[in-house]
């Protein structure tokens, strides 16, 4: 992706996201059934959504391309937004003699490590050493050390992960050194050296932003990074990194930054059933509270063990009542449970509109980061490093200095 194509992409996304804010800046969980929707003037969209049966909603939730086709007649610029989300996928071989390093690593995670490791090695040269940022136990670092036989510094906050990771690296005889430290503290600057290739697999919000800033300032020779958890930031709003991002009128709150992450790889029927039950219970109790007490606004109820859900709605309400000292009578619970179920279906229906904006919002964030690197003189590419079934956080930013 050349200089102008990245900024053109950003500019198209920026304009289209600003002009469609009414469609995606919603919180479907908190919209009550009779509330006027932000897109209430779009009669066609309202009719399309209300005609959807439960099976249709279910099917469209799992098929975003079909959903985009259905919603395009109602939402201006939706197709051009999606056009800007197309990325080349790296064709990686996944033939590596690294299987012995995979012990204890879940299958999907291991596939991500293989793909990211290979992508990083392809963009590296023999005089580079590796800096693994927010390394966890350093699984990616192990992979790179084993395949390249070049030293790795693995930087990680949690002491226990550093100790466990160092023990693993030593057991496999790999040239790795863990450094414990805080990626958000100015002291971590000492870990950066110009001949490094920094790698970060799924570094959260501020953590990947700090890596990009340090890399630009210390002129690291290369960066390979897959961002995630955009909402994990210290400030209330997203702080753009690039010139274009800083000039944009798009101000993203933490809630907005959570939107791209709502795309998950589903955990099958059981996980789906648990979610439906839990949401229906929460919405049913919320309706009961709003309509039978002088309660105003949503009362957050703490998270609950999945096993507790099987004890039913009455038990859930009792538990919440005790936990939050709620002064309510738990009468007519069947009525409130059915109300919760109806609100759950409505929530799923409204979420379909937000669903088509998840990837475009993520692309806007990724382009902002990629542009920052480009503006610091890097040759930057943006691609996908694995299929979205392995992880929906599959975007890779790679930057190299000549
Ligand atoms: C999402 S995990 C990714 C770990 C690893 N890269 C992987 O993909 O398995 C984020 C890691 O960042 C570490 N971390 C969180 N805050 C940090 C900080 N302030 N400084 C350094 N590391 C931090 C966490 O302890 C965790 O290991």
How is the chain split into domains, by residue range?
Answer: 13-84+267-355, 99-262+365-400
Closest atom of ligand 1 to 229 CA is 1
Q: Which value, to the nearest 10 degrees, does the dihedral of the CA atoms of residues 232, 233, 237, 242 take?
A: -110
Per-residue pLDDT tens over the stretch 72-111:
999 998 998 999 999 999 977 766 777 888 888 888 999 9
Position in ligand 1 atom list of the atom nearest CA 158: 25
What separation in Å is there between the alpha carbon of 222 and the centre of ligand 1? 20
The predicted structure's pLDDT at residue 268: 77
Q: Which of 356, 314, 372 is nearest to 80 (CA)?
A: 356
Q: How far is the CA of 203 from the centre of ligand 1 (A)?
A: 6
State the distance from the centre of ligand 1 to the C-alpha of 131, rounded, in angstroms: 13
Output the ligand 1 site: residues, CB below 6 A: 134-136, 139, 156-158, 161, 182-184, 201-202, 204, 207
Residue 229 Cα to ligand 1 midpoint, Å, equals 11
Nearest CA to ligand 1 atom 4: 136
- 183 alpha carbon to ligand 1 midpoint, in Å? 9
Rounded to the nearest whole angstrom, what is the distance from the C-alpha of residue 300 to the centroid of ligand 1?
Answer: 28
pLDDT at residue 72, rounded to an integer: 97
| Confidence check: pLDDT of 214 > 70 | yes
Q: Which one of 143, 156, 166 would you pick to mutate in the ligand 1 pocket, going by the greatest count of ligand atoms within 8 A of its CB?
A: 156
Atom number in ligand 1 closest to CA 184: 19
Q: Write out pLDDT tens, residues 120-143.
A: 999 999 899 999 999 999 999 999
**Distant-in-sequence, close-in-space partners of 125: CB < 8 Å, separation ≥ 6:** 221
Highest mean pLDDT (candidates 98-102, 295-299, 348-352, 395-399): 395-399
Could you give the percent of the chain with pLDDT greater than 90?
77
| Sequence-separated (6 or more) residues with CB below 8 Å from residue 303 | none
Q: Which of 120, 131, 157 to mutate to test the pocket of ligand 1 (most atoms within 8 A of CB)?
A: 157
Q: Determine the distance separating the centroid of ligand 1 and the alpha carbon of 199, expressed in angstroms.
A: 12
CA 189 to centroid of ligand 1, rounded, Å: 17
Q: pLDDT tens-digit profile of 152-167?
A: 999 999 999 999 999 9
For ligand 1, atom 21: residue with the closest CA: 157
Q: What's domain 99-262+365-400's architecture?
A: 3-Layer(aba) Sandwich (3.40)
Is 192's pLDDT higher than 90?
yes
Confidence (pLDDT) at 101: 85
Rounded-to-integer distance, Cα 146 and Cα 14, Å? 42
To test the pocket of ligand 1, the residue of 106, 111, 134 to mutate (highest count of ligand atoms within 8 Å of its CB) is 134
Nearest protein Cα to ligand 1, atom 13: 134
Q: Which atom of ligand 1 has the smallest separation from the CA of 139?
A: 9
**Which residue, 287, 303, 298, is CA-closest to 338?**
287
Q: Going by C-beta distance under 8 Å and a sequence separation of 6 or more, which residues neighbour residue 249?
A: 18
The DSSP string of 5-51 is HHHHHHHHHHHHHHHTHHHHS--GGG--TTSPPTTTT-HHHHHHHHH
What pLDDT score does 93 carry?
75
Q: How far is the CA of 140 from the centre of ligand 1 (A)?
A: 12
Alpha-carbon torsion, ordered 361, 364, 366, 367, to 10 deg: 170
pLDDT in tens, 258-317: 999 987 665 678 888 888 999 999 999 999 988 887 777 778 888 888 888 899 999 999
- Give the mutation target among 110, 131, 136, 168 for probing the ligand 1 site: most ligand atoms within 8 A of CB: 136
What does the pLDDT read at residue 249?
97
What separation in Å is there between the alpha carbon of 236 and the centre of ligand 1? Answer: 21
Q: Are 201 and 223 in contact (CB under 8 A)?
A: no
Indicate which residue's Cα is closest to atom 27 of ligand 1. Answer: 136
pLDDT, the chain, mean: 92
Residue pair 199/120 in contact by the 8 Å Cβ criterion: yes
Considering 43-52, 292-301, 360-369, the range whose residues carry the highest mean pLDDT is 360-369
Interval between CA 330 and ligand 1 midpoint (Å): 44
- pLDDT-derived band of residue 2, with 50, 70 and 90 as boundaries? very low
Q: Quick one: which atom of ligand 1 is closest to the CA of 185? A: 19
Integer-rounded Cα radius of gyration of the chain: 24
- Per-residue pLDDT tens over the stretch 217-275: 999 999 999 999 999 999 999 999 999 999 999 999 999 999 999 876 656 788 888 88
């Amino acid at each position: 992706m050349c200089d102008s194509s990245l900024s053109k992409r950003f500019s198209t996304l920026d304009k289209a996201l600003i002009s469609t804010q009414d469609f995606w800046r919603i919180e479907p969980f908190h919209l009550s059934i009779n509330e006027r929707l932000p897109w209430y003037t779009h009669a066609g969209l309202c009719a399309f959504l209300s005609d959807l049966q439960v099976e249709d909603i279910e099917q469209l939730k799992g098929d975003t391309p079909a959903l985009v086709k259905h919603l395009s007649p109602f939402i201006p610029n939706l197709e051009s937004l999606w056009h800007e989300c197309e990325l080349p996928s790296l064709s990686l071989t996944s033939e590596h003699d690294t299987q012995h390093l995979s012990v204890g690593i879940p299958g999907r995670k291991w596939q991500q490590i293989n793909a990211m490791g290979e992508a990083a090695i392809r963009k590296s040269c023999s005089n580079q050493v590796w800096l693994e940022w927010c390394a966890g136990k350093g699984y990616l670092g192990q992979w790179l050390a084993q395949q390249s036989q070049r030293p790795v510094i693995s930087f990680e906050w949690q002491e226990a992960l550093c100790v466990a990771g160092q023990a693993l690296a030593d057991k496999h005889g790999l040239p790795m050194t863990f450094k414990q430290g805080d990626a958000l503290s100015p002291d971590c600057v000492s870990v950066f050296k110009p001949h490094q290739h920094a790698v970060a697999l799924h570094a959260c919000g501020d953590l990947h932003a700090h890596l990009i800033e340090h890399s630009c300032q210390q002129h690291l020779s290369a960066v390979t990074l897959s961002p995630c958890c955009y909402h994990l930031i210290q400030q209330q709003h997203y702080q753009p990194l690039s010139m274009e991002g800083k000039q944009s009128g798009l101000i993203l709150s933490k809630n907005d930054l959570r939107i791209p992450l709502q795309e998950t790889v589903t955990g099958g029927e059981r996980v789906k059933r648990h979610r439906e039950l839990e949401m229906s219970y929460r919405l049913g109790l919320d309706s009961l509270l709003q309509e039978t007490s002088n309660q105003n606004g949503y009362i957050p109820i703490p998270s609950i063990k999945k096993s507790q859900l099987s004890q039913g709605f009455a038990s859930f309400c009792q538990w919440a009542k005790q936990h939050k000292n709620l002064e309510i009578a738990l009468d007519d619970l069947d009525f409130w449970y059915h109300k919760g179920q109806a609100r759950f279906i409505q929530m799923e229906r409204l979420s379909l509109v937000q669903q088509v904006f998840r990837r475009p919002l993520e692309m806007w964030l990724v382009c902002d980061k990629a542009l920052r690197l480009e503006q610091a003189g890097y040759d930057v590419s943006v691609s996908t490093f694995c299929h979205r079934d392995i992880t929906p956080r599959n975007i890779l930013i790679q930057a190299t200095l000549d």
